[in-house]
Structure 1
């Protein structure tokens, strides 16, 4: 997925109260649907400015934010400098559609409204699974299948028009995950139209 669109919006991203509220909704759903301890190693993939990670602070341990947008990563780095994110937080330049997953294991991986921007889902899911500790959880918040109007204003959008829940469940299982559960998470209102967002949770089996 190209980063230019997000580079342009990064500086003002957190000024949108709807984005902040949505991140909190996702964090609440993650905390309510999967078990993890206060020492859990968290990776937020496609983290943007790290809003979901911020909403999970105090419930997790070491945090890593990965994003392909230089603009978003710069904002996240500034948050670390300002104290809005922990001083030991890591910020990675990572696009699993085109890069091999780096070494490292995480107990919890969260991705919020990212995967519908991905053209080829399989390498991304397999990369995320490779970084999960056995017994760890992947949590994906994303759009339910829609008619293409959500990104109708983007002439360059070439991702998915949301996801069919059954199809995504099968993709998660094919990537090596088990215990897949998909439930309602939140709603995005765009130009007066509601778009539903689900949370998919899945576990990496213990070897």
Structure 2
């Protein structure tokens, strides 16, 4: 799936199902990560920033990173309209790009929601997320359980993962340098009339 695909759906992205799911994921992050309200948060592959939006007030400054210009435009409009806090930053950041220059800043918490299954080669992205965290900082990843290709069956050009085996993803997180990895049930979503399970993987740098 290309950036152009996400550019094309950005303006109508925030339907009620996605808003509700983002709140459920944010609730799971709050339950799994000891938050003080001062954490610098990066939402990677943020889209329009729904999870960060649901976490505002539970963390400190928000930074949203996405490679889709259409999604970033919607996120920037949310900041201007007050749906996201003043001072929220919106970055163009793609850790799949081998030429990417990582920001100098480090974060206390990095979250991503239904992002990693779009990325064929996870290793450089997980390594980049690890480097973006402060020592002791947390990564929280919400994504799909393995589904034998049913979730993306309608997309002829999908080249990502058909969900994840939880144990396999935990091994990849440990290989990237993360510790204290846990993977637990988080929420569900319905597509093509079928219910798909979403887990939350939490790990520490």
Confirm or deny a common fold (TM above 0.5). yes
CA–CA distance in 2 between the matches of 1:153 and 1:95?
Answer: 25
In the TM superposition, residue 45 of structure 1 has moved relative to its aligned partner by 0.2
The residue matched to 2:13 in structure 1 has which SS?
helix
Is the 8 Å Cα contact of residues 101 and 128 (structure 1) preserved in structure 2?
no
Q: Which residue of 1 aligns with 2:39?
A: 40
CA–CA distance in 1 between the matches of 2:151 and 2:30?
Answer: 27
In the TM superposition, residue 2 of structure 1 has moved relative to its aligned partner by 2.2
The answer to which of 147-156 and 96-105 deviates more is: 96-105
Is the 8 Å Cα contact of residues 138 and 201 (structure 1) preserved in structure 2?
yes
Q: Which residue of 2 aligns with 1:78?
A: 77
CA–CA distance in 1 between the matches of 2:17 and 2:106?
Answer: 32
CA–CA distance in 2 between the matches of 1:92 and 1:127?
Answer: 15
Deviations 1:39-84 (A, max 9, x none): 1000000000000001001111111000000000000000011011
Q: Which residue of 1 aligns with 2:170?
A: 169
Deviations 1:16-39 (A, max 9, x none): 111111101100000001112111
Q: Which residue of 1 aligns with 2:10?
A: 10
Q: Which residue of 2 aligns with 1:19?
A: 18
Q: Which residue of 2 aligns with 1:107?
A: 108
CA–CA distance in 1 between the matches of 2:116 and 2:137?
Answer: 19
Q: Which residue of 1 aligns with 2:27?
A: 28
CA–CA distance in 2 between the matches of 1:190 and 1:47?
Answer: 21
Structure 2 spans left out of the alignment, 5+ residues: none
CA–CA distance in 2 between the matches of 1:4 and 1:155?
Answer: 15
The total of aligned residue pairs comes to: 203
Say yes or no: does 1:152 pair with 2:183.
no
Q: Which residue of 1 aligns with 2:52?
A: 53
Structure 1 spans left out of the alignment, 5+ residues: none
Say yes or no: does 1:126 pair with 2:113.
no
Say yes or no: does 1:90 pair with 2:89.
yes
In the TM superposition, residue 172 of structure 1 has moved relative to its aligned partner by 0.4
Is the 8 Å Cα contact of residues 36 and 108 (structure 1) preserved in structure 2?
no
TM-score (norm 2): 0.97
In the TM superposition, residue 100 of structure 1 has moved relative to its aligned partner by 3.6
- Hey, which bits of structure 1, 4+ residues long, moved more than 3 A? none
Deviations 1:103-123 (A, max 9, x none): 211000000000000011000
CA RMSD in angstroms, aligned pairs only: 0.8
Is the 8 Å Cα contact of residues 36 and 107 (structure 1) preserved in structure 2?
no
Is the 8 Å Cα contact of residues 142 and 162 (structure 1) preserved in structure 2?
yes
